Amino acid sequence: MEPRIVTIPPKKMVGRKQRMSLTANRTVELWQFLMPRQKEIRNKLNSDLFSVQIFDQDFDFKYFTPETEFEKWAAVEVSDYLKIQDGMETLNVPEGLYAVFDYKGAANNFAPMFHYIFGTWIPASGYEVDKRPHFDVLGEKYKGNDPTSEEEIWVPLKMKK
Protein backbone atom coordinates (compact mmCIF):
# COMPACT_ATOMS: atom_id res chain seq x y z
CA MET A 1 0.00 0.00 0.00
CA GLU A 2 1.54 3.26 -1.14
CA PRO A 3 0.63 6.42 0.77
CA ARG A 4 -0.05 9.85 -0.64
CA ILE A 5 2.77 12.28 0.19
CA VAL A 6 1.40 15.73 0.97
CA THR A 7 2.56 18.98 2.52
CA ILE A 8 0.08 20.61 4.86
CA PRO A 9 -0.15 24.18 6.11
CA PRO A 10 -0.24 24.73 9.88
CA LYS A 11 -3.40 23.43 11.56
CA LYS A 12 -5.15 24.78 14.62
CA MET A 13 -7.00 22.25 16.75
CA VAL A 14 -9.16 22.33 19.85
CA GLY A 15 -9.90 19.38 22.08
CA ARG A 16 -8.59 17.50 25.05
CA LYS A 17 -5.36 15.64 25.71
CA GLN A 18 -4.26 12.82 27.99
CA ARG A 19 -0.92 11.09 28.55
CA MET A 20 -1.30 7.34 28.02
CA SER A 21 0.06 4.14 26.49
CA LEU A 22 -1.63 1.34 24.59
CA THR A 23 -1.72 -0.79 27.75
CA ALA A 24 -3.08 2.10 29.83
CA ASN A 25 -5.35 3.37 27.07
CA ARG A 26 -7.72 6.20 28.05
CA THR A 27 -8.84 7.16 24.55
CA VAL A 28 -12.50 6.48 25.35
CA GLU A 29 -12.41 9.13 28.09
CA LEU A 30 -11.13 11.74 25.63
CA TRP A 31 -13.91 11.06 23.13
CA GLN A 32 -16.56 10.88 25.88
CA PHE A 33 -15.54 14.41 26.78
CA LEU A 34 -15.34 15.82 23.24
CA MET A 35 -18.24 14.21 21.41
CA PRO A 36 -21.12 15.76 23.39
CA ARG A 37 -19.35 19.14 23.49
CA GLN A 38 -18.20 19.52 19.89
CA LYS A 39 -21.40 21.40 19.01
CA GLU A 40 -20.15 24.19 21.31
CA ILE A 41 -17.15 24.77 19.04
CA ARG A 42 -18.40 27.44 16.66
CA ASN A 43 -15.26 27.92 14.56
CA LYS A 44 -14.83 24.30 13.31
CA LEU A 45 -13.51 24.05 9.76
CA ASN A 46 -15.34 20.80 8.97
CA SER A 47 -16.98 17.76 10.56
CA ASP A 48 -13.78 15.66 10.71
CA LEU A 49 -12.51 14.41 14.05
CA PHE A 50 -8.79 14.12 14.75
CA SER A 51 -7.09 11.52 16.90
CA VAL A 52 -3.64 13.02 17.47
CA GLN A 53 -0.57 11.34 18.94
CA ILE A 54 2.47 13.29 20.09
CA PHE A 55 5.57 11.29 20.97
CA ASP A 56 8.47 12.51 23.10
CA GLN A 57 11.13 14.36 21.09
CA ASP A 58 13.80 11.73 21.78
CA PHE A 59 11.54 8.77 20.93
CA ASP A 60 12.56 6.26 18.22
CA PHE A 61 9.81 4.05 16.74
CA LYS A 62 12.21 1.08 16.67
CA TYR A 63 11.60 0.93 20.43
CA PHE A 64 7.81 1.32 20.45
CA THR A 65 6.06 -1.08 22.82
CA PRO A 66 2.49 -1.23 24.18
CA GLU A 67 3.89 0.46 27.33
CA THR A 68 5.36 3.45 25.45
CA GLU A 69 3.73 6.63 26.75
CA PHE A 70 2.62 9.44 24.47
CA GLU A 71 0.22 12.37 24.47
CA LYS A 72 -3.13 11.61 22.84
CA TRP A 73 -5.68 14.18 21.70
CA ALA A 74 -9.32 14.03 20.66
CA ALA A 75 -9.74 17.20 18.62
CA VAL A 76 -11.39 19.16 15.83
CA GLU A 77 -9.76 21.60 13.43
CA VAL A 78 -10.67 25.26 13.93
CA SER A 79 -10.11 28.51 12.06
CA ASP A 80 -8.86 30.43 15.10
CA TYR A 81 -8.50 30.37 18.88
CA LEU A 82 -10.68 33.42 19.59
CA LYS A 83 -13.16 31.52 21.76
CA ILE A 84 -12.03 28.34 23.50
CA GLN A 85 -14.63 26.46 25.54
CA ASP A 86 -14.03 25.66 29.22
CA GLY A 87 -12.10 22.45 29.70
CA MET A 88 -10.70 22.44 26.15
CA GLU A 89 -7.14 23.05 25.07
CA THR A 90 -5.44 24.23 21.89
CA LEU A 91 -2.94 22.38 19.72
CA ASN A 92 -0.83 23.79 16.90
CA VAL A 93 0.21 21.27 14.25
CA PRO A 94 3.13 22.79 12.31
CA GLU A 95 3.23 22.73 8.54
CA GLY A 96 5.14 19.93 6.99
CA LEU A 97 5.35 16.78 4.92
CA TYR A 98 3.10 13.79 5.70
CA ALA A 99 2.53 10.28 4.39
CA VAL A 100 -1.22 9.61 4.27
CA PHE A 101 -2.27 5.97 4.50
CA ASP A 102 -5.87 5.00 3.83
CA TYR A 103 -6.89 2.39 6.39
CA LYS A 104 -9.98 0.23 6.09
CA GLY A 105 -10.86 -2.05 8.98
CA ALA A 106 -11.70 -2.12 12.66
CA ALA A 107 -9.73 0.32 14.78
CA ASN A 108 -8.75 -2.49 17.16
CA ASN A 109 -7.15 -4.42 14.26
CA PHE A 110 -4.70 -1.63 13.36
CA ALA A 111 -1.50 -3.40 14.56
CA PRO A 112 -0.57 -4.97 11.17
CA MET A 113 -0.90 -1.55 9.48
CA PHE A 114 1.27 0.03 12.18
CA HIS A 115 3.96 -2.61 11.60
CA TYR A 116 3.78 -2.10 7.83
CA ILE A 117 4.13 1.70 8.10
CA PHE A 118 6.98 1.78 10.63
CA GLY A 119 8.63 -1.58 9.95
CA THR A 120 8.41 -1.84 6.15
CA TRP A 121 7.34 1.33 4.33
CA ILE A 122 9.39 3.96 6.17
CA PRO A 123 12.67 1.96 6.22
CA ALA A 124 12.33 1.31 2.47
CA SER A 125 11.39 4.91 1.62
CA GLY A 126 13.57 7.97 1.26
CA TYR A 127 11.98 9.38 4.42
CA GLU A 128 12.22 9.15 8.17
CA VAL A 129 9.64 10.00 10.81
CA ASP A 130 9.68 13.67 11.79
CA LYS A 131 9.19 14.95 15.35
CA ARG A 132 5.75 16.47 14.73
CA PRO A 133 2.25 15.30 15.67
CA HIS A 134 0.88 12.14 14.05
CA PHE A 135 -2.86 12.13 13.47
CA ASP A 136 -5.75 10.08 12.20
CA VAL A 137 -8.59 11.78 10.35
CA LEU A 138 -11.88 10.21 11.36
CA GLY A 139 -14.29 11.32 8.67
CA GLU A 140 -17.81 10.29 7.70
CA LYS A 141 -16.75 6.68 6.94
CA TYR A 142 -15.20 6.11 10.36
CA LYS A 143 -17.14 3.50 12.37
CA GLY A 144 -14.75 2.57 15.19
CA ASN A 145 -14.34 -1.19 15.51
CA ASP A 146 -16.58 -2.00 12.54
CA PRO A 147 -14.59 -3.94 9.88
CA THR A 148 -15.93 -1.57 7.17
CA SER A 149 -14.61 1.52 8.99
CA GLU A 150 -12.30 3.87 7.07
CA GLU A 151 -9.84 6.50 8.26
CA GLU A 152 -6.68 8.28 7.16
CA ILE A 153 -3.40 7.77 9.01
CA TRP A 154 -1.11 10.83 8.76
CA VAL A 155 2.58 10.23 9.57
CA PRO A 156 4.98 13.23 9.70
CA LEU A 157 8.00 12.84 7.42
CA LYS A 158 11.32 14.40 6.58
CA MET A 159 13.90 13.38 4.01
CA LYS A 160 16.48 10.85 5.20
CA LYS A 161 19.87 12.33 5.95
76-132 pLDDT, tens digit per residue, is 999 999 988 899 999 999 999 999 999 998 887 888 898 899 999 999 999 999 999
Q: What is the pLDDT of residue 110?
A: 82
Contacts of 151 (CB under 8 A, 6+ apart): 103, 107, 136, 137, 138, 139, 141, 142
Q: Quickly count: other Cβ atoms within 10 Å of residue 8's Cβ.
A: 15
Q: Judge whether 103 and 110 are in contact, CB under 8 Å.
A: yes
Tell me the C-alpha distance between 77 and 106, whole Å: 24
Q: What is the pLDDT of residues 13-70, one digit of tens each?
A: 999 999 999 889 899 999 999 999 988 898 999 999 999 999 988 887 777 888 889 9
Q: What is the pLDDT of residue 1?
A: 80
Tell me the C-alpha distance between 103 and 151, whole Å: 5
Q: What is the pLDDT of residue 65?
A: 82
Complete DSSP assignment for the chain:
-PPEEEEE--EEEEEEEEEE-STT--HHHHHHHHHHHGGG-TTBSSS-EEEEEE--TT--GGG--TT--EEEEEEEEES--SS--TT-EEEEE--EEEEEEEEES-GGG-HHHHHIIIIIIHHHSSEEE-SS-EEEEE-TT--TT-TT-EEEEEEEEEE--
Tell me the C-alpha distance between 21 and 131, whole Å: 18
Q: Quickly count: other Cβ atoms within 10 Å of residue 30's Cβ.
A: 20
Tell me the C-alpha distance between 123 and 111, whole Å: 17
**Predicted model pTM:** 0.92
